[in-house]
């Protein structure tokens, strides 16, 4: 990208009319979704796992200047536990909590990793439906802690992502339909076979494991608040949504930690899979049907997680949608680096929040609606790297390793 020239990005924005007053508590607005104890326990566990390292918080000062914004901070999850995505801190943690609940007593992660209970865990099966990253996390967690994993994918999941999950020893099942159909197939087989679903979405009677997943995501925000420079108070978080677990976890964490001073949460979705945008528009959870054939396959979800929605409906300042072109442009922008910005590898689903920020910042009406100006300090969660390297190279024009070498 020799010339930084954004394409016409037809973003759609809706300001949330249900946003809770600044002084309202999280427990009052959205009871039982996430809590401080859950975040603390998850962070303590995950930070003790072998291979744990905080991921980088990168400053994109060149891009911020180009967009006439104050600061842009990009949380780069491409190195998380070698899995290439933030999901490692959610799905694997939920697998651990399930095994601890199943085995009882004082079973620790170290015990499980050492194989102390392998004679019992080998007969336990966990399963999930996935667009890619969550399934990889569950498969990795199952291998790490010694149980079996069955992973359901839909027709839109690339072969590269399927192979990446299978590499962790999971039994793969492909469903000839969309993500929501794979969720239903997974739940039905689990009921029939006595398996445990490890999902990041909720339904009637199924809440606790998705809560574990969301609490696991809080590790990222622990790191962010430690990594931010002094006196750099965030004004906005632009964050992509699939079923809603990630933005709900981030919004809940910031509500608990910063209360009335928390930044404005802007939830970004592909225009072809905009269940949160449509739910906000309708004032209630609203499903999006059809193929959901967005390039941002990791966000190709047609139904909100009901539990996550109860929080996002109260915590999100706005919901917006972007076309696939916006994600590709964001990927290329990161790979090229503006000015002295670091060159970053961001996957097509992982750059959703950045795509939304760029689209909003270059549009006068969107910029005004979202209260963006030269003083704005924005956090982006770069939730994945090149989790499908072949697709990444096709979209960006360079292999991930070439970008990093530059």
* DSSP per-residue letters across 36-61: HHHHHHHHHHHTTSTT--PPEEEE-H
The count of C-alpha atoms lying within 13 angstroms of the C-alpha of 139, restricted to the half-sphere facing its C-beta, is: 25
Residues 6+ apart with CB under 8 A from 279: 285, 286, 304, 309, 313
Give the residue, 88 or 329, on which the prediction is more confident.
329
The count of C-alpha atoms lying within 13 angstroms of the C-alpha of 66, restricted to the half-sphere facing its C-beta, is: 18
Q: What are the structural domains, with CATH classification, of the chain? A: 12-86+209-405 (3.40.50.1100), 91-199 (3.40.50.1100)
Burial label, 133 (beta-carbon count in 10 A; 0-12, 13-18, 19+): buried
| Digit-coded pLDDT (tens) for 211-222 | 999 999 999 999
Residue 167 has what pLDDT?
Answer: 95
Task: Please report where in the chains the tokens 């239903």 appear, as a residue.
Answer: 184
Task: Please report where in the chains the tokens 């969301």 appear, as a residue.
Answer: 214
198 pLDDT higher than 60:
yes
Give the number of other CB atoms < 10 A from CB of residue 100.
Answer: 18
Give the residue, 133 or 168, on which the prediction is more confident.
168
Spot the catalytic one: 75, 87, 264, 332. 87
Question: Does residue 219 contact residue 253 with C-beta atoms inside 8 Å?
Answer: no
Is 35 part of the annotated catalytic residue set?
Answer: no
Residue 2 has what pLDDT?
Answer: 59
Spot the catalytic one: 61, 111, 122, 131. 131
Most confident region among 4-13, 129-138, 145-154, 285-294 by mean pLDDT: 145-154
Give the residue, 214 or 179, on which the prediction is more confident.
214
Is 274 part of the annotated catalytic residue set?
Answer: no
Which among 86, 180, 175, 178 is positioned nearest to 137, based on CA atoms? 86
Which among 378, 390, 377 is positioned nearest to 347, based on CA atoms? 390
| Digit-coded pLDDT (tens) for 34-58 | 999 999 999 999 999 999 999 999 9
| Digit-coded pLDDT (tens) for 16-33 | 999 999 999 999 999 999
Question: Does residue 355 contact residue 380 with C-beta atoms inside 8 Å?
Answer: no
The encoded tokens of residue 314 equal 């109260």
pTM of the model: 0.95
End-to-end Cα spacing for the chain: 14
Give 257-275 as a DSSP string.
HHGGGPPEEEEEEETTS-H
Q: At what angle do helices 36-46 and 91-103 cross, to 10 degrees?
A: 90
Q: Strand, helix or coil at 15?
A: strand
Phi-psi region of 389 (alpha: psi -120 to 50; beta: other; left: phi over 0): alpha
Residues 6+ apart with CB under 8 A from 194: 125
Q: Measure the CA–CA gap between 129 and 131, rounded to whole angstroms.
A: 7
Mean pLDDT value across the chain: 95
| Digit-coded pLDDT (tens) for 234-292 | 999 999 999 999 999 999 999 999 999 999 999 999 999 999 999 999 999 999 988 88
179 pLDDT higher than 90:
no
10 pLDDT higher than 80:
no
Question: Does residue 176 contact residue 153 with C-beta atoms inside 8 Å?
Answer: no
Q: Strand, helix or coil at 163?
A: helix
Residue 1 has what pLDDT?
Answer: 52
């Amino acid at each position: 990208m020799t010339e930084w020239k954004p394409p016409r990005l037809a973003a759609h924005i809706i300001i949330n009319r249900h946003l809770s007053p600044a002084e309202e508590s999280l427990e009052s607005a959205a009871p039982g979704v996430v809590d401080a104890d859950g975040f603390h326990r998850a962070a303590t566990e995950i930070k003790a796992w072998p291979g744990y390292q905080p991921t980088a918080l990168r400053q994109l000062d060149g891009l911020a200047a180009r967009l006439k914004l104050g600061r842009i901070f990009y949380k780069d999850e491409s190195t998380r536990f070698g899995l290439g995505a933030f999901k490692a801190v959610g799905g694997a943690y939920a697998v651990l909590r399930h095994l601890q609940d199943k085995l009882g007593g004082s079973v620790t992660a170290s015990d499980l990793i050492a194989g102390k209970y392998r004679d019992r865990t080998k007969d336990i099966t966990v399963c999930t439906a996935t667009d890619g990253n969550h399934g990889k996390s569950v498969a990795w967690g199952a291998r790490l802690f010694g149980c079996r994993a069955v992973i359901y994918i839909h027709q839109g999941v690339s072969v590269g992502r399927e192979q990446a999950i299978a590499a962790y020893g999971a039994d793969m099942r492909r469903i000839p339909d969309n993500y929501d159909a794979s969720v239903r197939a997974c739940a039905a087989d689990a009921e029939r076979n006595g398996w445990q679903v490890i999902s990041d979405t909720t339904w009637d009677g199924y809440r606790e494991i998705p809560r574990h997943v969301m609490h696991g995501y809080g590790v990222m925000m622990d790191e962010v608040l430690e990594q931010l420079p002094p006196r750099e108070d965030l004004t906005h978080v632009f964050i992509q949504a699939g079923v809603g677990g990630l933005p709900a976890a981030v919004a809940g964490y910031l509500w608990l930690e910063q209360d009335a001073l928390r930044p404005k949460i802007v939830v970004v979705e592909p225009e072809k899979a905009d269940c949160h945008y449509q739910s906000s528009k309708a004032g209630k959870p609203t499903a999006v049907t059809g193929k959901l054939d967005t390039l941002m396959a990791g966000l190709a979800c047609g139904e909100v997680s009901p539990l996550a929605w109860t929080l996002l409906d109260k915590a999100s300042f706005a919901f917006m949608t972007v076309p696939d072109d916006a994600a590709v442009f964001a990927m290329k922008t990161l790979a090229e680096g503006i000015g002295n910005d670091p060159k970053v590898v961001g996957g097509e689903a992982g750059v959703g929040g950045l795509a939304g920020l760029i689209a909003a910042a270059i549009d006068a009406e969107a910029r005004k609606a979202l209260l963006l100006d030269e003083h704005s300090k924005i956090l982006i969660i770069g939730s994945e790297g090149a989790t499908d390297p072949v697709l990444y190279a096709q979209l960006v024009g360079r292999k991930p390793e070439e970008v990093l070498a530059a």
